[in-house]
């Protein structure tokens, strides 16, 4: 459906001379008249007074819209080859386009619009209707599309072309629901982006609403509706952010609390460790000062006393530590009966075997709570195992295993394997210990106590003697067999021997009684 | 607000009433209504608005002033500039306005640099012609690029909403996917995301080892870098502030460390003094424990010798003395000096007593 277009073309380049302008007008008309369908066109000159002379500076004419394309191409080509500043005016109904340029490219946009046919009926009218629906209703709903379809048929526009025009008017999202969904998706994506940014190092905060508002406007979605969607997401984001901040704050507080607790515990441990270190230092000093004697010298006692004061060790702790170190270095003196074995230990340390033997009697009687009373088989059993072990350990330690109850037990075990007869076994036992000699015609072999051997050359198990079992030592060192059996039984009960190989007997000593 | 720096992407829009016979107050109110509708649209915060008055030349007004004009200066039209990307939205807004008034109006679009479109109509439907022709006259790639640059200059990257807007531009301007991909790549430069730009710029800022390094001269260089890599000014400033803050923290930490070292040195000195003081007390205590009545010594030296002889005479005391010296890790000269001082004081006291 062709329609008339009014053209006005005028050369406005001030540098051009009047004659040249007139010549250009002439050539322009000639060029245009050359076009197909333009031979009958009536060209009206536009004249201007320049330097008191009237000259032709342009031309006006009317042509059918079908010719718009060829005319524009011709004008473009002319500008391309002769870029003279020119004023163009194209009037299509009430629409007027003015272009002033010397560049051919400036005509390209109008050429494209002319070629699309959107400036002329029927496409122009169809697009105007579709645009109106899209703008006023916010969508091309089925009802609007039905109306447009009727219009299309009336205007004789092909269905495919109408589709293109619909898409142009309504964007790729023709219905409100499509626009709403799209906007919702994009808003969600925006907030996902913000959440992802929150995960890493910080970014400068920016307001995303203006771009979303722009999108809503471009989509034709009511801004209030779009804002509601945005606010929903913003609220959710703010809530998440607040929750995360609270969690982080709570975690930090918890970490701080744990850290404070850990610091307090570390401090407590440090103090405990320092206290322990001081005790250890004191213990080491005790070891150092008792290395050569059971009781430190006066000088070393001075050192210990000063160290105790400086390290803040209490007197009780110091005494306990000293006792522990002494026990460790010189043997323990534990007693279940409350007996003090220190003197015995000192005597044994001094290798004063005789005095030690007598002290052993003293401590055993103390342990049995007997005061020079006769020890019987019954009372023997009251000797506490702890005390027996202490006495044995001290004797064993200082005789390097030669003396002590265990040595005596071992000797007895050896006799057990040799002598089946009880009586003979005991006699042999005493002989093995060196407590009696072999019986002879004139003697039963019992030795006086002072004839016993109080040295390390004495036989195995010779000491300590069981003088505390003897009713009298003035005549001879003789122990009642029943008491002896009771003692050995009690020793075996309290200090059972391990199942070890029986030590070789001292063959130099008699093992058999005659 | 999205950055729109390029002025040639703007379109001049003027609207004038052609109804000379109508009540001027009504026309004024209609123009005011139009102005109020347009300024609410996004992206027009920077736009300047002018009004046409009867027999007067256009005068610039602020958007907030539009409703506060006196009746003596009645409007007959409105003129404003809009970013090209807002063309369709603004035109739709104007069309809705025209729908509501349905009066003969002259519309003029000034699409720089060469085109002016005018249309006289009272029907909104006719404005579709302005839309078709106006969009055809806009350079599609330049329009797309300008808009994309605006987003990148604001957000540092093409956000989902920016991409959605650009997709509509692409659709409207008939650009192909390859064309827009090229344009997007051109706009983003070598860095594909804002995160990459941040990472790079943060690394660049690490050359500043102290606050004074980040002076105006260097910052100008850094700004040029930010501009080249398409990092928005706001982000560059943010990263500058971040770096400055880190440098301040670091300086503060170093200061605290120096203070801590000085404090540790002071503590060491105090401990040394304390050790001497403690030894002094220990020694005094030792002397007091060991003290036996002395004949008055003729001088301090003899007094000192006598006391030390008392101390050394008893092994116990000698042990205490040696242990105390050992405990406080005192050098023999140090111990001697201190002991001398204590004994001298004691001598003076003994003299007083």
Interface test with A, best of B2, B320, B329 (most A CBs within 10 A): B320
Task: pLDDT band for A507, please (50, 70, 90 cuts).
Answer: very low
A23-32, A67-76, B23-32, B341-350: range with lowest mean pLDDT = B341-350
Chain B residues close to A203, C-beta within 8 Å: 194, 198, 235, 238
Last residue of a domain, one of B75, B106, B137: B137
Residue A264 counted as domain residue: no
Give the span between the Cα atoms of A106 and A195, in whole angstroms. 46
pLDDT of residue A50: 78
The CATH number for B83's domain is: 3.30.70.120
Task: pLDDT band for A149, please (50, 70, 90 cuts).
Answer: very high
Same domain for B130 and B144, yes or no, is no
pLDDT of residue B261: 96
Residue A107 counted as domain residue: yes
Single out the residue of B103, B102, B81 nearest to residue B10, CA to CA. Answer: B81
Task: pLDDT band for A195, please (50, 70, 90 cuts).
Answer: very high
How many domains does one find in chain A? 4
- Shortest CA distance from B126: residue in chain A: A128
| Helix ranges, A12-93 (H) | 18-33, 68-81
**pLDDT reading at A199 higher than 50:** yes
Q: What is the pLDDT of residues A7-16, one digit of tens each?
A: 999 999 888 8
Give the span between the Cα atoms of B239 and B85, in whole angstroms. 31
Q: What is the pLDDT of residues A308-324, one digit of tens each?
A: 988 889 999 999 999 99
Comparing A462 with A422, the larger pLDDT belongs to: A462
Residue A304 counted as domain residue: no
Same domain for B268 and B295, yes or no, is yes
The Cα-based distances of B183 to A3, B10, B86, B161 in angstroms read 39, 20, 20, 17
In this complex, is the C-beta atom of B50 within 8 Å of any C-beta atom belonging to chain A? Answer: no
- Shortest CA distance from B232: residue in chain A: A204
Chain A residues close to B118, C-beta within 8 Å: 95-96, 98
Same domain for A205 and A244, yes or no, is yes
In this complex, is the C-beta atom of B124 within 8 Å of any C-beta atom belonging to chain A? Answer: yes
Same domain for B82 and B56, yes or no, is yes
Same domain for A75 and A187, yes or no, is no
In this complex, is the C-beta atom of A136 within 8 Å of any C-beta atom belonging to chain B? Answer: yes
Task: pLDDT band for A512, please (50, 70, 90 cuts).
Answer: very low
Residue A465 counted as domain residue: yes
Same domain for B12 and B124, yes or no, is yes
Residue B193 counted as domain residue: no
pLDDT of residue A256: 93
Same domain for A184 and A148, yes or no, is no
Give the span between the Cα atoms of A120 and A155, in whole angstroms. 12
Tell me the mean pLDDT per 10 residues along chain B, length 353.
Answer: 51 90 88 90 84 66 51 81 89 92 93 88 88 86 91 93 93 90 91 91 88 84 90 93 92 94 94 86 82 68 81 82 85 85 82 57
Chain B residues close to A171, C-beta within 8 Å: 168, 171-172
Convert A94-133 to b/e letters by CB count within 10 Å (16 or more is b): bbbbbbbbebbebbebbbbbbebbbbbebbbbbbbbbbbb
Residue A418 counted as domain residue: yes
Last residue of a domain, one of B154, B188, B222: B188
Chain B residues close to A211, C-beta within 8 Å: 2, 151, 154-155, 159, 161-162, 165
Same domain for A163 and A201, yes or no, is no
Given a contact cutoff of 8 angstroms between Cβ atoms, the answer to whether A432 and A488 are in contact is: no
Same domain for A91 and A110, yes or no, is yes
Percent of chain A with pLDDT over 70: 96
Same domain for B85 and B169, yes or no, is no
Residue B157 counted as domain residue: yes
- The residue segments making up the domain with residue B12 are 7-137
Residue B194 counted as domain residue: no
Same domain for B170 and B81, yes or no, is no
* Nearest Cβ partner for B319 among A197, A203, A306: A306
pLDDT of residue A369: 87
In this complex, is the C-beta atom of A3 within 8 Å of any C-beta atom belonging to chain B? Answer: no
Same domain for B82 and B23, yes or no, is yes
Same domain for B59 and B144, yes or no, is no
Q: Do A96 and B42 touch (CB under 8 A)?
A: no
Kindly give, in sequence order, each residue whose CB lies less than 8 Å from that of residue B122, ignoring residues fewer than 6 positions away: B98, B102, B103, B104, B105
Residue B44 counted as domain residue: yes
Q: What is the pLDDT of residues A249-302, one digit of tens each?
A: 999 999 999 999 999 999 999 999 999 999 999 999 999 999 988 899 989 999
Same domain for B12 and B133, yes or no, is yes
Percent of chain A with pLDDT over 90: 59
Task: pLDDT band for A503, please (50, 70, 90 cuts).
Answer: very low
Say what angle helices A223-289 and A176-199 make with each other, to 10 degrees.
20
The residues in A 149-178 lying below 8 A from B, measured between CB atoms, are: 167-168, 171-172
Residue A303 counted as domain residue: no
Same domain for A111 and A127, yes or no, is no
Same domain for A399 and A453, yes or no, is yes
Same domain for A59 and A35, yes or no, is yes
The Cα-based distances of A80 to A15, A57, A73, A98, B300 in angstroms read 18, 19, 10, 19, 122
Last residue of a domain, one of A211, A233, A255: A255
- The token pair that represents B302 in the structure block: 């003899």
* Nearest Cβ partner for A217 among B89, B115, B128: B89
Same domain for A159 and A226, yes or no, is no
The shortest C-alpha distance from A112 to chain B (Å) reads 7
Same domain for B129 and B152, yes or no, is no
Chain B residues close to A302, C-beta within 8 Å: 314-323
Same domain for A188 and A162, yes or no, is no
Q: What is the pLDDT of residues A372-396, one digit of tens each?
A: 777 888 899 999 999 999 999 999 9
Same domain for A152 and A235, yes or no, is no
Give the span between the Cα atoms of A209 and A268, in whole angstroms. 56
pLDDT of residue A2: 63
Residue A286 counted as domain residue: no
Same domain for B34 and B72, yes or no, is yes
Query: Before A122, cis peptide (omega within 30)?
Result: yes
The residues in B 71-110 lying below 8 A from A, measured between CB atoms, are: 86, 88-89, 92, 95-96, 99
The 3-class secondary structure across A206-227, one letter per residue, is CCCHHHHHHHHHHHCCCHHHHH
Give the span between the Cα atoms of A411 and A504, in whole angstroms. 9
How crowded is the C-beta side of A75, counted as CA atoms within 13 Å?
30
Interface test with A, best of B2, B161, B275, B324 (most A CBs within 10 A): B161
pLDDT of residue A499: 64
Last residue of a domain, one of A226, A255, A284: A255
pLDDT of residue B294: 61
The Cα-based distances of A96 to A43, A86, A100, A394, B109 in angstroms read 19, 16, 13, 130, 10
Q: B209 burial class (0-12, 13-18, 19+ CB within 10 angstroms)?
A: exposed
Last residue of a domain, one of B97, B115, B137: B137
Residue B237 counted as domain residue: no
pLDDT of residue B326: 86
Given a contact cutoff of 8 angstroms between Cβ atoms, the answer to whether A349 and A376 are in contact is: no
Residue B335 counted as domain residue: yes
In this complex, is the C-beta atom of A211 within 8 Å of any C-beta atom belonging to chain B? Answer: yes
Convert A432-441 to b/e letters by CB count within 10 Å (16 or more is b): bbbbbbbeee
- The residue segments making up the domain with residue A154 are 123-170
pLDDT of residue A384: 92
A177-186, A216-225, A473-482, B251-260: range with lowest mean pLDDT = A473-482
**pLDDT reading at A356 higher than 90:** yes
Same domain for A77 and A111, yes or no, is yes
The CATH number for A46's domain is: 3.30.70
Residue A390 counted as domain residue: yes
The residues in B 129-158 lying below 8 A from A, measured between CB atoms, are: 129-133, 136-139, 151, 154-155
The shortest C-alpha distance from A9 to chain B (Å) reads 14
The complex scores an ipTM of 0.76
Same domain for B306 and B334, yes or no, is yes
Residue B217 counted as domain residue: no
How many domains does one find in chain B? 3
Report which listed range, A133-137, A453-457, B310-314, is most confident.
Answer: A453-457
Q: What is the pLDDT of residues A169-186, one digit of tens each?
A: 887 888 888 999 999 999
In this complex, is the C-beta atom of B185 within 8 Å of any C-beta atom belonging to chain A? Answer: no
Residue B229 counted as domain residue: no
Last residue of a domain, one of A255, A275, A309: A255
């Amino acid at each position: 459906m062709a329609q008339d277009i009014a053209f006005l073309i005028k050369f406005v380049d001030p540098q051009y001379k009047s004659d040249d302008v007139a010549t250009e007008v002439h050539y322009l008309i000639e060029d245009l008249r050359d076009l197909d369908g333009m031979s009958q066109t009536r060209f009206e000159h536009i004249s201007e007074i320049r330097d008191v002379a009237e000259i032709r500076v342009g031309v006006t004419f009317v042509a059918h819209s079908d010719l718009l394309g060829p005319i524009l191409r011709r004008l473009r080509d002319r500008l391309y080859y002769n870029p003279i500043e020119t004023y163009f005016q194209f009037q299509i109904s009430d629409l007027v386009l003015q272009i002033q340029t010397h560049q051919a490219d400036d005509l390209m946009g109008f050429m494209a619009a002319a070629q699309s046919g959107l400036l002329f009926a029927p496409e122009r009218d169809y697009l105007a209707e579709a645009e109106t629906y899209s703008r006023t209703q916010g969508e091309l709903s089925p009802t609007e599309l039905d109306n447009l379809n009727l219009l299309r048929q009336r205007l004789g526009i092909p269905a495919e072309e109408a589709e293109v025009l619909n898409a142009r008017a309504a964007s790729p999202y023709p219905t409100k629901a499509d626009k709403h969904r799209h906007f919702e998706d994009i808003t969600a994506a925006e907030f996902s982006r913000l959440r992802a940014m929150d995960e890493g190092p910080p970014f400068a905060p920016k307001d995303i609403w203006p771009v979303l508002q722009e999108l809503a406007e471009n989509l034709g979605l009511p801004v209030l509706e779009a804002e509601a969607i945005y606010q929903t997401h913003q609220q959710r984001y703010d809530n998440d952010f607040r929750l995360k901040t609270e969690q982080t704050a709570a975690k930090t507080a918890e970490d701080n609390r744990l850290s404070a607790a850990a610091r307090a515990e570390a401090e407590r441990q440090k103090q405990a460790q320092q206290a322990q270190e001081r005790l250890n230092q004191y213990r080491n000093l005790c070891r150092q000062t008792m290395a050569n004697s059971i009781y430190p010298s006066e000088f070393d006692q001075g050192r210990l006393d000063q160290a105790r004061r400086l390290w803040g060790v209490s007197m009780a702790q110091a005494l306990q530590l000293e006792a522990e170190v002494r026990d460790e270095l010189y043997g323990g003196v534990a007693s279940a009966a409350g007996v003090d074995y220190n003197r015995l230990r000192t005597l044994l340390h001094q290798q004063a075997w005789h005095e030690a033997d007598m002290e052993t009697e003293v401590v055993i009687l103390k342990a049995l709570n007997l005061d020079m009373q006769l020890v019987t088989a019954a009372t023997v059993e009251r000797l506490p195992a702890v005390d027996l072990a202490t006495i044995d350990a001290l004797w064993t330690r200082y005789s390097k295993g030669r003396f002590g109850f265990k040595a005596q037990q071992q000797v007895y075990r050896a006799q057990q394997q040799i002598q089946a007869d009880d009586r003979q076994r005991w006699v042999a036992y005493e002989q093995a210990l060196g407590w009696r000699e072999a019986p002879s015609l004139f003697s039963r072999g019992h030795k006086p106590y002072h004839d016993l051997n109080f040295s390390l050359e004495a036989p195995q198990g010779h000491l300590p003697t069981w003088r505390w079992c003897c009713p009298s030592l003035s005549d001879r060192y003789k122990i009642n067999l029943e008491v002896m059996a009771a003692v050995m039984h009690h020793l075996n009960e309290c200090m059972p021997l391990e199942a070890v190989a029986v030590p070789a007997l001292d063959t130099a000593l008699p093992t058999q009684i005659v | 607000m999205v950055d729109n720096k390029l002025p040639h992407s703007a379109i001049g829009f003027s609207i004038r009433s052609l109804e000379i016979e109508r009540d001027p107050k009504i026309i004024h109110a209609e123009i005011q209504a139009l102005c109020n509708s347009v300024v609410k649209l996004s992206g027009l915060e920077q736009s300047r608005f002018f009004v046409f008055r009867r027999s007067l030349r256009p005068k610039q007004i602020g958007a907030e002033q539009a409703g506060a004009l006196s009746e003596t200066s009645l409007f007959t039209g409105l003129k404003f500039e809009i970013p090209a990307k807002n063309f369709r939205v603004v035109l739709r807004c104007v069309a809705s306005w025209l729908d509501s008034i349905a009066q003969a109006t002259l519309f003029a679009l000034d699409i720089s640099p060469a085109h002016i479109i005018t249309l006289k109509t009272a029907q909104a439907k006719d404005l579709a012609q302005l839309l078709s022709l106006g969009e055809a006259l806009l350079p599609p790639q330049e329009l797309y690029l300008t808009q994309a640059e605006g987003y990148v200059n604001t957000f540092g990257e093409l956000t989902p909403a920016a991409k959605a807007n650009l997709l509509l531009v692409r659709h409207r301007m008939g650009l192909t996917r390859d064309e827009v991909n090229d344009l997007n790549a051109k706009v983003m430069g070598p860095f594909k995301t804002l995160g990459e730009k941040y990472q790079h710029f943060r690394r660049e800022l690490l050359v500043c080892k102290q606050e004074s390094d980040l002076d105006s001269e260097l910052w100008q260089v850094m700004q040029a870098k930010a501009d080249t890599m398409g990092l928005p000014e706001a982000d560059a400033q943010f990263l500058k502030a971040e770096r400055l803050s880190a440098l301040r923290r670091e300086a503060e930490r170093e200061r605290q460390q120096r203070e801590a070292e000085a404090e540790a040195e002071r503590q060491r000195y105090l401990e040394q003094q304390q050790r001497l003081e403690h030894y002094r007390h220990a020694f005094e205590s030792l002397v007091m424990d060991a003290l036996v009545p002395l004949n008055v010594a003729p001088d301090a030296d003899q007094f000192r010798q006598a006391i030390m002889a008392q101390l050394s005479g008893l092994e116990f005391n000698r042990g205490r003395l040696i242990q105390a010296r050992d405990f406080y890790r005192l050098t023999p000269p140090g111990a001697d000096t201190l002991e001398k001082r204590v004994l001298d004081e004691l001598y003076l006291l003994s003299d007083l007593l």
